[in-house]
């Protein structure tokens, strides 16, 4: 028998307010036997068991009646959808793919290119460097503020020093600082497609460096000494990332054939010679009510995708959306998903759109003082930390 070590089962206890707390009642064998008898008492449970032990229960639970009536037909679509359908493989880069999938559209239109991708690996490279630098500086800040090793904030930072996920403001900062380049000029690598082991190496080094920095803060090291230490540490992180992903070129020449099969060449260029608009969307898991799923840790922002079309009723109310994913064209409707309006309301948390489409009363929110949420708040979750198919 598994004993309950939280509360005694043979006596009543009281809390500080002297409110009576009832003892924990262990599960009896008789109760468990009743559960089993009740389960097999319904023939549908045995049928469901036979099916779900052989197939994915989420797939089994899809309503055939509803699925057959929901078709990929839309009355409002974007001018064009980018090709090819992209594939983030076994990584958590959906936020990068979603943003770059939208950025490529005006570029492809301007130069009459049939298929094109910006390099996701290029921004992935700089994200690893910037994220590690930011994390190490936060370790110093928390140490100077007296955060203990068992403190909640430090525990949060040490639990997962770095992952692949991200949000809108992060990609804005990356593009503004480093620009973009064609995928052909900085292609995928093994670790960009399967980032698990590269991330594990970086996490180990960051935790090691966290101790070094906290020791220096405790020893009253100067600001200059601490910054010099961080620079040395980031140099090692850079070497790890460059070894795994390759080193991004400072200049490149972009060569391509347009739709008329005419050869074109631009260059040499730098990654910051272009400026484009970025958009992404998110997807979350099934759970409780929307608010409660966030509060109880059952839901958070886990995926970013791109809207390309919407189906509306006669009054213009949305009924369904066409969504461009980033897992290749082998699944769903050649890589595109159908998202219903009820699903949108229940599971979408953030949408990034052009300001010119936003009502003035919504834009007025930016005039308010920002509320800084704690690091562990569910709204701070990075899109795609759980996207990886590893």
130-183, pLDDT tens digit by residue?
999 999 999 999 999 999 988 999 989 998 999 999 988 899 999 999 999 899
Is residue 119, in this structure, part of any structural domain at all?
A: yes
Whole-number Å distance between alpha carbons of 105 and 113: 10
| Tokens standing for residue 57 | 């229960």
Residues marked active site are found at 94, 303, 325
- Give the Cα-Cα-Cα angle 247, 193, 202 (nearest 5 degrees): 65
Is residue 175, in this structure, part of any structural domain at all?
A: yes
Q: Are 258 and 119 contained in the same domain?
A: yes
Q: Are 118 and 247 contained in the same domain?
A: yes
- Give the Cα-Cα-Cα angle 384, 247, 265 (nearest 5 degrees): 95
Is residue 308, in this structure, part of any structural domain at all?
A: no
Over residues 82-139, the pLDDT tens digits come to: 888 888 888 988 899 999 998 888 888 888 888 899 999 999 999 999 999 999 999 9
Is residue 205, in this structure, part of any structural domain at all?
A: yes
Count of structural domains within the chain: 2
- Picking from 18, 40, 61, the residue at the C-terminal end of a domain is 61
Is residue 255, in this structure, part of any structural domain at all?
A: yes
pLDDT score of 276: 31
Q: Are 117 and 47 contained in the same domain?
A: no
Q: First CA to last CA across the chain, in angstroms?
A: 36
Q: Are 262 and 127 contained in the same domain?
A: yes
Whole-number Å distance between alpha carbons of 98 and 101: 5
Q: Are 134 and 258 contained in the same domain?
A: yes
Q: Are 136 and 232 contained in the same domain?
A: yes
Please report, for the domain that includes residue 229, its CATH number.
3.90.70.10
Q: Are 52 and 183 contained in the same domain?
A: no
pLDDT score of 246: 94
- Picking from 269, 301, 321, the residue at the C-terminal end of a domain is 269
Q: What's the per-residue H, E or C state across 176-198?
A: HHHCCCEHHHCCCCHHHHECHHH
| Tokens standing for residue 304 | 């970013």
Closest CA relative to residue 117, chosen from 26, 167, 179, 181: 181
Whole-number Å distance between alpha carbons of 199 and 67: 38
Is residue 103, in this structure, part of any structural domain at all?
A: no
Is residue 122, in this structure, part of any structural domain at all?
A: yes
Q: Are 155 and 235 contained in the same domain?
A: yes
The range of the structural domain enclosing residue 55 comes to: 28-61
123-126: long-range contacts (C-beta < 8 A, 24 or more apart)?
A: 123/96, 123/171, 123/174, 123/175, 123/178, 123/180, 124/91, 124/93, 124/96, 124/164, 124/192, 124/245, 125/186, 125/241, 125/242, 125/245, 125/246, 125/248, 126/174, 126/177, 126/178, 126/248
Q: Are 260 and 127 contained in the same domain?
A: yes
Over residues 320-377, the pLDDT tens digits come to: 888 887 777 766 667 787 778 877 888 888 888 888 888 888 888 888 998 888 877 7
Q: Are 36 and 180 contained in the same domain?
A: no
Q: Are 57 and 117 contained in the same domain?
A: no
4 prior amide bond cis, ω within 30: no
pTM, to two decimals: 0.67
- Give the Cα-Cα-Cα angle 119, 124, 128 (nearest 5 degrees): 160
- Give the number of C-alpha atoms closer than 13 A to the C-alpha of residue 300, restricted to the C-beta side: 20
Compare 85 and 381 and report the one with higher pLDDT: 85
Q: Rounded to 10 degrees, what is the CA torsion of 242, 245, 247, 249?
A: -160
268 contacts: CB under 8 Å, gap ≥ 6 = 251, 252, 253
Q: Are 121 and 251 contained in the same domain?
A: yes
- Picking from 234, 269, 304, the residue at the C-terminal end of a domain is 269
Helix (H) or strand (E) holding 267: strand 263-269
């Amino acid at each position: 028998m598994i004993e309950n070590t939280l509360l005694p089962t043979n006596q009543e206890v009281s809390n500080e307010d002297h409110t009576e707390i009832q003892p924990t009642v262990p599960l009896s064998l008789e109760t468990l036997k009743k559960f089993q008898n009740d389960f097999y008492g319904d023939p549908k449970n045995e049928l469901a068991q036979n099916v779900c032990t052989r197939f994915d229960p989420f797939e089994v639970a899809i309503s055939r009646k509803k699925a057959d009536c929901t078709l990929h037909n839309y009355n409002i679509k974007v001018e064009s959808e980018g090709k090819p359908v992209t594939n983030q493989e076994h990584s958590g880069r959906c936020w990068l793919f979603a943003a770059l999938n939208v950025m490529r559209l005006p570029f492809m239109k301007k130069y009459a290119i049939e298929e094109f991708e910006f390099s996701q690996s290029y921004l992935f490279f700089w994200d690893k460097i910037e994220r590690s630098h930011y994390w190490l500086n936060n370790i110093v800040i928390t140490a100077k503020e007296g955060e203990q090793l068992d403190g909640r904030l430090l525990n949060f930072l040490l639990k997962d020093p770095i992952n692949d996920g991200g949000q809108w403001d992060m990609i804005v900062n990356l593009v503004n600082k480093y620009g973009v380049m064609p995928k052909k000029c900085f292609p995928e690598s093994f670790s960009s497609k399967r980032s698990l082991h590269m991330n594990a190496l970086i996490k180990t080094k960051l935790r090691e460096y966290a101790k070094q920095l906290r020791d220096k803060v405790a020893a009253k090291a100067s600001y200059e000494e601490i910054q010099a230490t961080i620079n040395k540490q980031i140099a090692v992180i850079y070497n790890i990332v460059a070894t795994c992903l390759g080193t991004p070129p400072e200049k490149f020449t972009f060569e391509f054939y347009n739709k008329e099969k005419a050869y074109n060449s631009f260059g040499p260029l730098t990654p910051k010679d272009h400026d484009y608009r970025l958009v992404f969307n998110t997807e979350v898991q099934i759970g409780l009510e929307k608010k409660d799923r966030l509060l109880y840790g059952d839901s958070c922002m886990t995926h970013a995708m791109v809207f390309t079309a919407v189906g509306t009723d006669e009054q213009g109310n949305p009924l369904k959306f066409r969504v461009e994913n980033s897992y290749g064209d082998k699944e769903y409707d050649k890589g595109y998903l159908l998202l219903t309006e009820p699903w949108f309301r229940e599971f979408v948390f953030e949408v990034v759109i052009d300001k010119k489409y936003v009502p003035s009363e919504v834009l007025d929110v930016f005039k308010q003082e920002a509320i800084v949420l704690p690091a562990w708040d569910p709204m701070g979750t990075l899109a795609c930390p759980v996207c990886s198919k590893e």
